[in-house]
A = this chain, B = another copy of it.
Amino acid sequence: MSENTSRTELSALGEFGLIERLASRIQLQQPSTVKGIGDDAAVIDPQGLHQVVTTDMLLEGVHFDLGYVPLKHLGYKAIVVNLSDVYAMNATPRQVIVALGLSNRFPVEAVDELYEGMLLACRNYGVDLVGGDTCSSRSGLVIGVTAIGAAKSEDIVYRSGAKDNELLVVSGDLGGAYMGLQVLEREKAVFTETGAQPDLAGHDYILERQLKPEARRDIIELLRQLDVRPTAMIDISDGLASEAIHIARSSGLGVRLYDDKLPIDPTTYQTARDFNLDPTTCALNGGEDYELLFTITQADYAKIKGNPSLTVVGHMIDANSGYRLVDKQGGEHELMAQGWDAFLRKDG
């Protein structure tokens, strides 16, 4: 968090002032952006390409806890999770629009930090922030981001394109963001009870996975270089199990995952053990990894084989065979998707 301790009330700026303050920091970089902030709507020139559009809402107390999430990181993450959806269509993100619900509890300086994170993500991914809505909230902070991307019609990859026997491939490693959250929640509880300063040493990797995730633009570029076109693709926001089932269901197929193939970083693995959690469960259901999960033809296997960023975790099977998980002993179980459903019951 910033060392800046000055506090300017939002009411001192007002909506117009806040919008002008934000707009003055934005440098448009997309040739496709015709008009950014400052009218009833943003205007985009599609330049002959199809447009993809996705939205995500982040609510305080549900998706984030300002007790341990710095606002700049939160702003960064709010943008990135939407860009991840655009990459999962094999499209290039170009614009974002941001709706914010703010309460008086936030001074202008806090809003600045949030936007700083958003604009940093925009710069890093070559995206323009072109509009939004700012309103007062009586409850917590509410962030709604809509991302717009572009692609040639024939390049767009849907969830529904997988075929029987195709390989299921995941980028990066899994479960880290979830374990990062566990560490943050533990240290918050300790702090609340004892006032002890958080002990986050040795957890850099998983904390970054939770607090400052990246969208896998590099994987989209890698696949183009390797001349591999995924047949189906999704990003992992709810957990591998849930997303694998999404691809299978959308494609009218079943899926089989292999426990011993799951890519888990040693830090994630060890932290899970320290928390008496099963690393496999964390990798399957942890969520928020924002890796890409996709299917490729058997013929394309040779092109990705041995690449450290890509792991084959299973393959598609016929619909009647269902959703299956093969454990390390070779036993087969039904693959269960957790995530949002359980979440709603607990937190809703």
Tell me if A211 is interfacial: C-beta within 8 Å of chain B. Answer: no
Question: Quick one: which of B42, B343, B344 contacts A52, CB cutoff 8 A?
Answer: B42
A115 → B minimal CB distance (Å): 16
A321 → B minimal CB distance (Å): 20
Tell me if A284 is interfacial: C-beta within 8 Å of chain B. Answer: no
**B55 x A44 contact (CB < 8 A):** no
Q: Which of A91-99, A174-182, A311-319 forms contacts with chain B?
A: A91-99
Tell me if A103 is interfacial: C-beta within 8 Å of chain B. Answer: yes
Q: Which of A140-148, A164-172, A196-204 forms contacts with chain B?
A: A140-148
**A139 x B136 contact (CB < 8 A):** no
**A340 x B135 contact (CB < 8 A):** yes
| Given A50-B45, A153-B45, A135 contacting B40 (CB threshold 8 A) | no
Assembly CA distance A160 to B37 (angstroms):
12
A156 → B minimal CB distance (Å): 6
A38-89 residues at the B interface, CB under 8 angstroms:
38-46, 49-57, 59, 61-63, 85-86, 88-89
**B347 x A144 contact (CB < 8 A):** no
Tell me if A162 is interfacial: C-beta within 8 Å of chain B. Answer: no
Question: Quick one: which of B54, B91, B103, B104 contacts A131, CB cutoff 8 A?
Answer: B54
| Complex interface: chain B residues within 8 A of A343 (CB) | 136
Tell me if A274 is interfacial: C-beta within 8 Å of chain B. Answer: no
Question: Quick one: which of B104, B130, B139, B158 contacts A39, CB cutoff 8 A?
Answer: B158
**B40 x A137 contact (CB < 8 A):** no
Name the residue of chain B whose CB is nearest to the CB of A347: B136
Assembly CA distance A41 to B85 (angstroms):
6
Assembly CA distance A48 to B91 (angstroms):
18
Report the contact-size class of chain A (Cβ under 8 Å from the partner): 35 or more
Tell me if A138 is interfacial: C-beta within 8 Å of chain B. Answer: yes
**A44 x B50 contact (CB < 8 A):** yes
Assembly CA distance A340 to B15 (angstroms):
7
| Given A53-B95, A59-B138, A142-B59, A149 contacting B34 (CB threshold 8 A) | no
Name the residue of chain B whose CB is nearest to the CB of A237: B40
Question: Quick one: which of B40, B56, B136 contacts A159, CB cutoff 8 A?
Answer: B40
**B348 x A156 contact (CB < 8 A):** no
**B40 x A44 contact (CB < 8 A):** no
A244 → B minimal CB distance (Å): 14
**A345 x B42 contact (CB < 8 A):** no
| Complex interface: chain B residues within 8 A of A230 (CB) | none
**A59 x B101 contact (CB < 8 A):** yes
A308-348 residues at the B interface, CB under 8 angstroms:
339-341, 343-345, 347-348
**A15 x B344 contact (CB < 8 A):** yes
With A14-B340, A15-B339, A51-B51 known, 9 other A-B pairs at CB within 8 A are: A15-B341, A39-B159, A45-B51, A51-B148, A55-B97, A59-B138, A59-B139, A62-B137, A102-B348
